Amino acid sequence: MQKQRLGVNIDHVATVRNARGSVWPDPLRAALLAEAAGADGITAHLREDRRHIRDADMEALKAGIGIPLNFECAATAEMQAIVLRLRPHAVCLVPERREERTTEGGLDVAGDEARLRDYLVPLREAGCRVSMFIGHDARQIEASARIGAAVVELHTGHYSDLHAEGRAAEADAELAALRAGATLAASLGLEVHAGHGLTYENVAPVAAIPEVQELNIGHFLIGEAIYLGLGPAIEEMRRRMDAARA
Ligand code: PXP
């Protein structure tokens, strides 16, 4: 099976920094450690409220890392202008609500198809690979293909929650739906990624989905880095992903 890429999301390094309003810990330093530990890309989410990553972090990441930068953002005019200036390798469009703690659901591509089709044209022309962060339902996958997205990232948050709550049968059903979504997306020519809520305990069945070419993992790894250090925490995730695909 094709080797799966690991994108490391470093948002929560900035969360810790911002808790003190200081300059430590530095997200760029974390990104460089992740790169040294074998991460294939760095993901960072510039939220409208700048609660973790800030504009200057994105610029420092773009200038400082040697692996692809995946710029996560809402599909707003403000973010489009920043992306077009920065020209990251990839852009992942996500839904965003101010009151949420994290990205809670997938993007409603089907319900906003005409606007999103126009929205991603300049991003594509700027050379960015555009990804839609969506649920596994066929409607959203087909709409993503129609508007010319290169990639879909399937939201694994619900699977992760069910797994954590010990609801094994429901977690298995959710996995089956993720597998079916990945197969459909790949058949439509979309590159398939997945992420949200992934941990050492729940990553294997998602990593084993043949069509899933990339996982994006953040919160758990940054937490685990408290105990292990960031490099070893990433290396262990890499080991588990590779074992699941062997
Ligand atoms: N992928 C996307 C699109 C996300 O929004 C997030 C969370 O920022 C992740 C992956 C990573 O999720 P987690 O931090 O739970 O690993």
Q: For residue 191, what are the β-bridge partners?
A: 151
pTM of the predicted protein model: 0.97
Instruction: Please tell me the distance between residue 90's alpha carbon and the centre of ligand 1 in angstroms.
Output: 15
Give the model's pLDDT for residue 105: 81
Whether omega for the bond prior to residue 232 falls within 30 degrees of 0, making it cis, is no
Task: State mean pLDDT over 49-74.
Answer: 98
CB 149 within 8 A of CB 120: yes
Q: Which residues form the domain of 46? A: 5-245
Segment 162-219, tens digit of pLDDT: 999 999 999 999 999 999 999 999 999 999 999 999 999 999 999 999 999 999 999 9
Q: Residue 40 is encoded by which pair of tokens?
A: 């294939």
Instruction: Encode pLDDT of 127-147 as tens digits.
Output: 999 999 999 999 999 999 999
pLDDT in tens, 212-245: 999 999 999 999 999 999 999 999 999 999 999 9
Indicate whether residue 72 lines ligand 1 (CB < 6 A): yes
pLDDT for 1 = 86
pLDDT of residue 204: 98
pLDDT at position 104 over 90: no
CATH number at residue 168: 3.20.20.70
What does the pLDDT read at residue 101?
Answer: 74
- Binding site membership of 219 for ligand 1 (Cβ less than 6 Å): yes
Number of H helices, E strands in the chain: 11, 8
Mean pLDDT estimate for the chain = 97
Mean pLDDT of 106-116: 97
Percent of the chain past pLDDT 90, that is, above it, reads: 95
Q: What is the pLDDT of residue 80?
A: 98
Q: Is 165 a catalytic residue?
A: no
Instruction: Choose, from 174, 191, 196, 211, the residue flagged as catalytic.
Output: 196
Looking at the structure of the chain, the number of domains it has is 1
Residue 91: pLDDT band (50, 70, 90) is very high
* d(C-alpha 7, C-alpha 35), whole Å: 10
- What CA–CA distance (Å, rounded) separates 64 from 77? 26
Residue to substitute in 94, 216, 230 for testing ligand 1 pocket (most ligand atoms within 8 angstroms of CB):
216
